[in-house]
């Protein structure tokens, strides 16, 4: 299982890095062409938005892995021990529920885009491709939150075992 998550980490890093680099280059070229040569690439803004959507949701999963999302640090700094672990578990449960809701909404959005057959205007790409970034990225976040919850649960069990050994 650990090997699978190592591969997932590497794939996320590679995809997110590639999307960020390509998007940055595309926007840079577009700006140079527009302001220096009075020429514009018609599809660059639309493709950039699609890549940014994918980057944001994959990056959000990476942020969960690195515990880089916004936290209530003030609360965590005043509690300790078992209470800190339990509050962390409650926060993970709330995040898991939120992810499930967003995944369901994202899948419905995807189904609607596929049923309508909506296409991007300049590149003629089906809109379900950028829309898929929502359920895919949030599913990756869900996996990370479940892992975080499991780790905190194991920490709580170890914490209780340490307390019993001390007595």
What's the rounded Cα separation, in Å, for the pair 14 and 162? 40
Q: Could you list the residue range(s) of the whole structural domain that residue 112 is in? A: 2-166
Q: How many domains, in total, are found in the chain?
A: 1
Q: Dump pLDDT digits (tens) for 63-97.
A: 998 887 777 677 777 888 888 889 889 999 999 99
The pTM of the full predicted model, rounded to 2 decimals, is 0.86
**Cα separation, 49 vs 133, whole angstroms:** 12
Cβ pair 127, 113 in contact under 8 A? yes
Q: What does pLDDT average to in each consecutive run of 10 residues of the chain (167 residues)?
A: 87 94 94 89 91 95 85 76 88 95 96 90 90 96 95 86 55
Please state, in angstroms and rounded to a whole number, the distance separating the CA atoms of residues 32 and 47: 17
């Amino acid at each position: 299982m650990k090997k699978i998550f190592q591969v997932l980490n590497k794939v996320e890093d590679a995809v997110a890095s590639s999307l960020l680099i390509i998007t940055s280059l595309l926007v840079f070229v577009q700006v140079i062409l527009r302001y220096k040569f009075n020429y514009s690439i018609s599809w660059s803004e639309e493709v950039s938005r699609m890549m940014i959507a994918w980057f944001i949701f994959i990056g959000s999963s990476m942020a969960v892995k690195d515990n880089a999302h916004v936290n209530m640090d003030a609360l965590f700094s005043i509690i300790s021990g078992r209470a800190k672990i339990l509050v962390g578990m409650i926060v993970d449960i709330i995040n898991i529920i939120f992810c499930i809701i967003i995944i369901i909404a994202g899948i419905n959005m995807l189904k609607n885009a596929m049923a309508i057959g909506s296409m991007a205007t300049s590149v003629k790409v089906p809109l379900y491709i950028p829309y898929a970034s929502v359920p895919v990225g949030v599913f990756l976040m869900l996996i990370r939150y479940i892992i975080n919850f499991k780790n905190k649960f194991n920490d709580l069990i170890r914490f209780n075992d340490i307390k019993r050994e001390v007595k």
